[in-house]
Amino acid sequence: MLKTVSSLKHSGKSIGFVPTLGALHDGHLSLIKKAKKENDIVVVSVFVNRLQFRKMAFLNYPRNLKGDAAIAKKAGADILFAPSEKQIYPNGFSAQVVLPNLFKALKSQKLSWHYKGVLIVVMKLFNIVNPTRAYFGLKDPHQFALIKKMVDDFNMQVKICGCPTVRGRDRLALSSRNALLSGQEKKAAKAIYRALVFAKTEMKKNGAKSATSALAGMKKMLKKEAPAVQLDYAEIADAKTLEPLWGKSKEALVFVAAFVGGKRLTDNIRLNLRQRRKQH
């Protein structure tokens, strides 16, 4: 990979990179297609990164490298990079990444270990693939913000590009984890999008000042779906900073993370607050 990339770069080619955990779906395809439009060469990586999973979730994660290779190729990928566990984490690997102090929500999410694992593997993959641009879905806005900050803080020479969440016909945000949901669980998972839309509608009607009550209403809706849906974390924040909304916030991000059948699903929607202010 290092040799291939170095010779491509030497001949002036731009490289678009789509890092994935595999189990590719239409959300990934939109990333690959965008990368193809904007770069000469597209590299897709498939690596189930144990550092960002709890043990059982790691073991149960759907794996289908052959299927992924076919899907990636069809979408326009030129190179599939599927390193082994040993290649990424050889014996003795011990480096750590300290998370930037970026937004308060991270502390309450109890997920700092997860995001540390994400940043470690993303930094390693960037160092190997040396991409011109890298593409991530915006379904996990915290992940996106942390990667962007790491790249800025370490002067890494890659442009981070975000792509909107892709939804199925049932409006469920596409995720590799959806493949692990039973029919019943899929049905229950739809409550996440319903709750997001509820909060967005409330705030459209009543403005940013209604964020607290919209958030409470959204949590109540999701709690009603227990035990099928177990709310992990919900927030309404400034879409740019991911900090609480303030008077000058331009866009709100309504975000939910919930466990459905033990699988952690995340989803979010955005609300333009400026448009609403203009109407009033």
Residues annotated as part of the active site: 28
**Distance between CA atoms of 218 and 267, rounded to whole angstroms?**
13
**Distance between CA atoms of 3 and 166, rounded to whole angstroms?**
34
- Range in contact with ligand PAF (rule: CB under 6 A) among 15-23, 80-88, 219-227, 247-255: 15-23
User: In the complex, what is the shortest distance from the CB of residue 18 to ligand PAF, in angstroms, rounded to a whole number?
Assistant: 9
What x-and-dash track marks residues 226-255 binding ligand PAF by CB under 6 A? ------------------------------
Sign of CA dihedral 198, 203, 101, 118: positive
Kindly list the strands in the beta sheet with 229-238, ordered across the sheet, starting from the edge strand earlier in the chain: 229-238, 251-260, 263-272
User: In the complex, what is the shortest distance from the CB of residue 196 to ligand PAF, in angstroms, rounded to a whole number?
Assistant: 19
> Binding ligand PAF by CB under 6 A: which of 5, 20, 254, 260?
20
Instruction: Kindly report the number of other CB atoms within 10 A of residue 14's CB atom.
Output: 16
Tokens of 168: 């199925």
Write out the binding residues for ligand PAF, residues 50-69 only, by CB under 6 A.
Answer: 52
- Range in contact with ligand PAF (rule: CB under 6 A) among 14-22, 56-64, 215-223, 270-278: 14-22
Residues 37 and 155 sit within 8 Å (Cβ to Cβ): no
> Binding ligand PAF by CB under 6 A: which of 23, 79, 106, 118?
118
Pairing type for strands 263-272 and 133-137 reads: unpaired
Contacting positions for ligand PAF (CB under 6 A): 19-21, 49, 52, 118, 121-122, 143
